[in-house]
Amino acid sequence: MAMAIALHGGLPQKADSTAEQIVAIGKRLGIDPLMDSDLTWIVEEYINAPLPDEWSVVRAPTGEIRYINSRTRDNVVDNPIEPRYRKLVVIIRSARRNKIPVDEVTLMELMDPIERAADVKEMAEYMGVDVDKEMHLVWVAKLAVIESLPEGWEETAAVDGRALYVNHADGSSTEDHPLDTYFREMLERERGKRAPYYSTMPAWYCENSVVRYRNDRAADGHTLRTEVVPATGSFVDMFDLYGNRYWYDLRSERITFDADDLREEPAALTIQRIFRGYRYRKDLYAMHWAAKKIGTLWRTKKFQGVLRGLNVSRDQAARCMQGMWRTRVARITNSKTVFERLGRVGQRRGRKTDKTAGLQASGYSFLVVRRRVTFLQRALRKWILHKVVAEMRTAKPHPYDFYIVRRAAKVIQRNWRAQLLRSGG
C-alpha cells in the first residue's frame, strides 16, 4: 500500500536538495550542468514549486515516487508540472539562439500560472482596457494578475468579506491594491506609444515571439516598444498549470488550444477590409474615369469654342488687313493722280512734240516731260538694237564676236534693271 508523505515543492521533503538531485532534475528539464550553469535557478524554482491542488505525491512500498490526481485518479511517475519547466528552458534557449530577450510575462506565467483565466478579463475591465480596440494592452492586465504583492504586504478579508491589503511595515491597510497606481501608469505609458501591427503570419503565434517591456527604456535611452503582435481577435494567450498553452476569449470566455481558431476572426476581418478596399478603389476608379471623361468632353467643348473664336478673329483680321491693304493701294493711286494734277496746276497746256528739247521747252510739267523722254529713250535704244542686230547678221563673223555680244547683252541687262528700278520708284 502506498504511503502519502509530506511535500516540499512536489518532491519528498528534505533539508536541502543534494547536488546529485539538482543535476538529475536539471537533466530531466534539459539543462546541462556544465554548459547551462546560469539556468540552475530554474531547477530551484522547480523544486520549490507547489503541485496543483488536485495532485499529491506518494512513495510506493518499492520506494518509487508517484503522483496521483484525486479527480481523475491518474497515477504517474513524472511530476505533472515538469513539462511546464521544460518549456521554460526551451523558451530561454530559443531566445538566446535568436538573440532576442525573453518575454517577462511569459517567464512569470510559466513559473506561476494563472489558475483562473477570468481574472484577466476582470482585471482588464477594472483597468479600463477596451478589448475591441486595445487587445495589444491586455498583457498589462495579465501582468497585474501575475504580479505578487510587494514585500511586507498581505491580502486579508474584512469582516464584511471585502478584500483588504495590510502593510505590516507601518500597520496601515487599504482596499486598493498597492500596485494599482504602478500598473495604471504603465498602461497610460503604453497607450502613448504607437499601436503595433497585427499580423496573421504563423510565426507570430509561436511562444515568446512577442516581447513586452515592463521597463521600456533601453540602455542608450530610447523607448522600447512592441512592433508586431499576432492577430488574435479577442483571445489572450495563457499557460495552464501543466505548461500547455491555450487562448482565452475575453468576450465569450471560450477556451481553445488551436491557434487556427484565433486566425478565423482576424482573417475574416482582413478579407472584409481587402474586399471593402477593392470595392472602394473600384468605385473611386469609376468616379475618376467618369470625371476624367467629363473633363475631357468639357475641355474638348471649351477648346472647340476657343478654336471657333480664333477662326472668327482670324477671318476678321484677314478682312481687316485686306480692307486696309485695298485702302492703302487706293490712297497710293489717288495720291499719284493728285500729285500729277497738282504738278500741272498753273501751267499752260503745251504742244505735242517728238523732240526732247521741244518737250523741255513746251511748258509741260516735269512728270509729263519725264514720261515722254523715257518713251523716246526706249524707242531710240530699240532702234539701235535692231540696227546692231541687222549688221551682225550681215557682217562677217569675227573671232571676238562672242565676247562683244556678251558685253553688249550685259549692258542691255544693266540698263533694263536700272529702268525697272526707276519705274518702281
CA nearest to 104, candidates 211, 226, 247: 211
Domain boundary pick from 41, 76, 99? 99
| Same domain for 154 and 90 | no
Instruction: Tell me what pLDDT residue 377 has.
Output: 83
| Same domain for 60 and 150 | no
Total domains present in the chain:
3
217: in domain: yes
269: in domain: no
Distance between CA atoms of 68 and 284, rounded to whole angstroms? 67
263: in domain: no
> Confidence class of residue 344 from pLDDT cuts 50, 70 and 90?
low
253: in domain: yes
Is the CB of residue 193 less than 8 Å from the CB of residue 186? no
Whether the predicted pLDDT of 328 surpasses 90: no
Domain boundary pick from 213, 239, 257? 257
| Same domain for 135 and 221 | yes
| Same domain for 196 and 129 | yes
Is the CB of residue 266 less than 8 Å from the CB of residue 231? yes
> Confidence class of residue 170 from pLDDT cuts 50, 70 and 90?
confident
Instruction: Tell me what pLDDT residue 183 has.
Output: 92
278: in domain: no
336: in domain: no
84: in domain: yes
| Same domain for 229 and 188 | yes
| Same domain for 133 and 214 | yes
Average pLDDT of the chain to the nearest whole number: 82
For 234, the domain range is 113-257
Whether the predicted pLDDT of 406 surpasses 60: yes
Instruction: Please measure the distance between the N-terminal and C-terminal CA atoms of the chain and give it in whole angstroms.
Output: 150
| Same domain for 175 and 130 | yes
> Confidence class of residue 422 from pLDDT cuts 50, 70 and 90?
confident
In the predicted model, what is the mean pLDDT of residues 169-177? 87
Q: What is the pLDDT of residues 59-85, one digit of tens each?
A: 888 888 889 998 888 889 889 999 999
| Residue bearing the bigger pLDDT, 29 or 15 | 29
Give the range among 241-255, 258-272, 312-326 with minimum mean pLDDT: 258-272
Percent of the chain clearing pLDDT 70 (strictly above): 87
pTM here? 0.59
Instruction: Tell me what pLDDT residue 343 has.
Output: 58
Instruction: Tell me what pLDDT residue 8 has.
Output: 43
Distance between CA atoms of 17 and 210, rounded to whole angstroms? 35
| Same domain for 230 and 200 | yes
> Confidence class of residue 5 from pLDDT cuts 50, 70 and 90?
very low
| Same domain for 71 and 132 | no
C-alpha cell at position 412: 542691255
